[in-house]
Amino acid sequence: MENCIFCKIIAGDIPSSKVYEDKDWYAFKDIEPCAPVHILVVPKKHVKSIMEMTNEGNPEFQNFFPTIKHIATEAGLKDKGFRLVVNTGEKAGQTVFHFHAHIIGGKDMGWPPFPEEAK
């Protein structure tokens, strides 16, 4: 997809710190990490967000959770745990409109994630 920063990263036109790649998925370190481990996992085929997905159009998502498990394990998070975040839509904080899952971990994280006054 033209003018998509993550498509350009997948194509190698913009440099990234790759942590994993297979035929369907590409994973790299977030440029502004919010934890010791902050990895973005993106499908190689451009899809804007969860809201544009279909089973027929996006069969690679059948392997989504096993891929997350593999990447998180390789990142040393098997026992420490991690948070998986998928911001969907502008109001939810999505700023790059190529689906991506954030694997965030390596520190203790509170729950709920938002300050009381934000409710």
32 binds ligand 5GP (CB under 6 A): yes
Among 64, 77, 98, 103, binds Zn ion (CB under 5 A): 98
**Between residues 30 and 60, which has the closer beta carbon with respect to ligand 5GP?**
30
31 binds ligand 5GP (CB under 6 A): yes
Cα distances from 47 to residues 19, 107, 108, in angstroms, run 21, 30, 32
**Between residues 21 and 74, which has the closer beta carbon with respect to Zn ion?**
21
One of 38, 98, 100, 102 is an active-site residue; which one?
100
Contact range with ligand 5GP by CB under 6 A, out of 45-53, 60-68, 91-99, 107-115: 91-99
**Burial group, residue 6, by CB count within 10 angstroms (0-12, 13-18, 19+):** buried
With b meaning 16 or more CB within 10 Å and e meaning fewer, what string describes 42-57? Answer: bbebbbbbeeeeeeee
Please give the residue ranges that form the binding site for ligand 5GP (CB under 6 A). 5, 14, 16, 28-32, 40, 87, 93-96
Q: Report the catalytic residues.
A: 100
Please give the residue ranges that form the binding site for Zn ion (CB under 5 A). 1, 4, 6-7, 46, 98
